[in-house]
Amino acid sequence: MVVTILGQSRIFFSMSRDGLLPKWASAVHPRFRTPYISTMFVGGCVATVAALTPINVISELVSIGTQLAFVIVCSGVWILRHRGTDVPRAFVAPWVPFTPIMGIAVALLMMFSLGWETWARLIIWLVIGLIIYFFYGRKHSKVRMLDAVARRSPMAD
The pLDDT tens digits for 26-67 are: 999 999 999 999 999 999 998 998 899 999 999 999 899 999
Please return the burial class of 38, using the count of CB atoms within 10 Å of its CB with bins 0-12, 13-18 and 19+: buried
pTM for the complete prediction? Answer: 0.76
pLDDT band at 153 (very low <50, low <70, confident <90, very high): low
pLDDT band at 154 (very low <50, low <70, confident <90, very high): low
Sign of the alpha-carbon dihedral angle for 40, 42, 48, 51: negative
Give the distance, in angstroms, between the CA of residue 49 and the centroid of all CA atoms in the same chain.
19
Please return the burial class of 33, using the count of CB atoms within 10 Å of its CB with bins 0-12, 13-18 and 19+: exposed
